[in-house]
Amino acid sequence: MRLNRGLKLSVLLAVAVPALVALTAISTMADSSPSPSGGPAPLPGDPAKGATLYAANCTSCHGASLGGSIGPALNPIAKLPGVPDSLDPAFLISIITNGRKHQAGDPGAVDMPVKGGNPSLTDQDVKDLAAFIIDQNRHGEPPLSANELAKRTILWVGIGIAGMVFITLLLAQYNMRWIARRAAARRR
């Protein structure tokens, strides 16, 4: 009877653990999937050229991965007070071209200088920089939010614990059978 009960428990765990993992993974992906929208607006410039310009002119304030430093994060782009869409190409081109005085509620700690402090940037360079920032927000890998990082950590820790419990139960059943066989062999 015990062997039958143990077998039932093993089968139950063998089905329940993968089902729990699959449901958790599906719910995590559903929470983080973007909602569908209309086609993206065309970029104002060339994002590849913008990447080179960004590396040369913007990393000291906005970080090499666009994550922010003394300037605000650009991927995901920081929300500015009073600005409905921080990824609007006209808005980005205006900010890069004209700069921006630090205002109450702004992320970052300093003013944005005109043309990022490089007056030799052309109008096309500014458009390429804006295109790079927009492209990175559309396709780039932004850092995980604290909520998403916590979800993924809980998921993988849960999978690890469930796996360890399952293996422990299987080993315990094996050991009990081995002990029973040894005891039976001693009685003979």
CB 62 within 8 A of CB 69: yes
- Reduced to 3 states (helix: H, G, I; strand: E, B; else coil), residue 171 is helix
DSSP 116: G
d(CA 169, CA 171) in angstroms, rounded, equals 5
- Burial label for 8, CB within 10 Å (0-12, 13-18, 19+), is exposed
ω into 143 cis (within 30 of 0): no
> What sign has the CA pseudo-torsion 54, 56, 57, 59?
positive
Q: Where are the domains of the chain?
A: 2-8+15-29+146-187, 47-139
- In this prediction the pTM is 0.56
What's the confidence (pLDDT) of residue 140? 64
172 touches 10 (CB < 8 A): no
pLDDT at 1: 47
- pLDDT tens for the chain, 188 residues long, are 455 776 777 777 677 777 777 777 676 665 554 544 556 778 999 999 999 999 999 999 999 988 888 888 898 888 888 888 989 999 999 999 999 988 888 887 789 999 999 999 999 999 999 999 999 988 866 666 778 888 888 888 988 899 899 899 888 888 888 899 999 999 88
Superfamily (CATH H level) for 47-139: Cytochrome c-like domain (1.10.760.10)
